[in-house]
Amino acid sequence: MSGAHALARAPRLAPWAGALGRELVLLAFIGALTYLAVVYGYINVEWSPAECDNPAVTALVVAGAVVPALLRRRFPATALLAAALLFAWYPATGATLALTSYTVASRIGSVRRRVATLAMGATVPFSIALICSRFQWQTTVIAFGVAALVCVLGPATVQVLLGQREQLIGALREQTRYAKLQERSRIAQEMHDLLGHRLSLISLYAGSLELDGTQASEPARLIRGTAKTAMDELRATLGMLRHRNPVTTQPNDHTGTWSDISQLITQAQAAGVKVELTWEGADLTGTALPIRQAVHRIVREGLTNVSRHAAGAPAKVSVAYCPDRVRVEVIDAGHPGGTGQPGSGLGLVGVKERVRLLGGTCHAGPMPAGGFRITADLPPVLVPPAPDNDEKTDDRWARAGMSAVLAIGLVAPTAILSFTFGSVTFDPIDDPQEVTFESIPIGAPRATVVEFIGQDDPLARTAATAVESARPPGSDCWYSAFSEDAVIERFCFQQDVLIDKARFGFPAG
Series of mean pLDDT values for 10-residue runs along the chain (509 residues)? 46 64 91 90 79 85 94 94 93 93 91 93 90 80 89 90 75 65 63 60 63 61 67 56 49 83 90 89 87 89 84 88 92 64 62 84 88 92 70 63 81 88 68 60 87 84 88 91 77 93 80
- Give the model's pLDDT for residue 195: 62
Cα 406 versus chain centre, distance: 8
- The one-character DSSP state at 198 is H
For 371, left (φ over 0), alpha (ψ -120 to 50), or beta? Answer: left
Give the contacts of 315 (CB within 8 A, at least 6 positions apart).
Answer: 273, 274, 275, 276, 303, 306, 330, 331, 332, 333
Domain boundaries, the chain: 18-248+389-426, 250-388, 432-505
Show the CA angle centred on residue 31, arms to residues 29 and 33, nearest 5°. 65
The DSSP H or E segment spanning 362 is strand 361-366
CATH of 432-505, one of 3.40.50.720, 3.40.80.10, 3.40.50.880, 3.30.1450.10: 3.30.1450.10
Give the contacts of 194 (CB within 8 A, at least 6 positions apart).
Answer: 251, 289
- Give the model's pLDDT for residue 313: 84
User: Mapped to the 3 state alphabet, what secondary structure does 385-407 carry?
Assistant: CCCCCHHHHHHHHHHHHHHHHHH
Which class is 250-388 in CATH?
alpha beta
- Give the model's pLDDT for residue 134: 75
Is the model's pTM score more than 0.75?
A: no
Residues 351 and 363: their CA atoms lie apart, in Å, by: 10
**DSSP assignment of 293-314, as one string?**
HHHHHHHHHHHHHHHHH-TTS-
Residues 75 and 267: their CA atoms lie apart, in Å, by: 65
- Give the model's pLDDT for residue 247: 46
pLDDT 10s digits, 206-231:
666 656 655 556 666 667 666 666 66
- Give the model's pLDDT for residue 422: 77
- Give the model's pLDDT for residue 10: 45
The DSSP H or E segment spanning 493 is strand 487-494
